[in-house]
Structure 1
Amino acid sequence: MQDDPILDVLNDLINYDEILACMVARQNMISVMPDQERFDTQVMQIWDIIKRAMDDVFTVIKGYSQAGLDEIEFRLQEYEVLFYVFPDTENALVVIVPALSNKGLIEVELENSRKEILKIMNQQEQGNLVTAV
């Protein structure tokens, strides 16, 4: 299996105690995700509900990402789902945390991870352009 640098970033994120699940996704599609066995079991019990809610939020992201939508979040039961949108795309770094978690440190880590993933995506895009020429 080929190494995926974006997956490496997500695997680092999932190691934080308060991060219960994480992925890079867009509406109706999860692009990159760590092994679901690493997700908190409580999240997995309500995964279908979270996934449906995520798809609804991606409708908003799709409509407003070009206008500069940067972050969006929602609370569902005992969880918060945080979306860190990649600029000018319909994709986002999505992280699920406990609703009562201290988001200060988490937000710093998520912003750093978003920047790192965006850098990787840009490098991959440039590599694809070079290959296509």
Structure 2
Amino acid sequence: MPSKEDQILKVLTEDLQRLEDIHACMVARKNLEGIAPITEEFKKEVMEIWEILKKTMDDFFDVIAHYSEFGLDKVYFELGKFDVMFFILPGTDTALVAIVPALANRGLLEVEMENARRKIISIIEGK
């Protein structure tokens, strides 16, 4: 049986990264510790601003760590021509993160992100 990490990586690559508007995705916490497809698979537009994205995302993980226990569920921010979507894993300092174009269809992406989050929670809980 594949490890939990391999199962989560499969959700990221097969359910999310295949979508045209997902430039990068990962399950991460502060300092981008977590599970992500290899960064070479991220779209090149994201790689051009990766360092500033990492720094900005770390700041948001501080907020997530402080407020997830109170029911913080989702966080979004815009950075230049990108939106970063955080779907928090309940009661943790960890989130499913996607980097998408600022003008992407957020409604469709939210449905895909929520479905992926549910699968990931199920994998983590061993169901």
TM range (shorter): over 0.9
Q: C-alpha separation between the residues in 1 aligned to 2:103 and 2:53?
A: 17
Please identify the structure whose Cα radius of gyration is greater.
1
Q: TM-score, normalised by structure 1?
A: 0.89
Mapped pair 1:65 → 2:68? yes
* Structure-to-structure mapping, 1:1-133, within 5 angstroms: 4-12=6-14, 13-123=16-126
Question: Helix, strand or coil for the counterpart of 1:73?
Answer: strand
Q: Deviations over 1:76-98 (max 9, x none)?
A: 00000000000011000000000
Identity between Structure 1 and Structure 2 (%):
48
Note the residue ranges of structure 2 that are not aligned, 5 or more in a row.
Answer: none
Amino acid at match of 2:93: E
Q: C-alpha separation between the residues in 2 aligned to 1:115 and 1:81?
A: 19
Q: Deviations over 1:23-64 (max 9, x none)?
A: 000011331001212111010010000000000000100110
Question: Helix, strand or coil for the counterpart of 1:89?
Answer: coil
Q: C-alpha separation between the residues in 2 aligned to 1:30 and 1:93?
A: 12
Question: Is contact 2:84-2:99 (8 Å) kept?
Answer: yes
Amino acid at match of 2:62: T
Of structures 1 and 2, the one with the larger relative CO (CA 8 A, separation 6+) is 2
**Over aligned residue pairs, what C-alpha RMSD do you find?**
1.2
Note the residue ranges of structure 1 that are not aligned, 5 or more in a row.
Answer: 125-133
Give the Å deviation of 1:111.
0.1
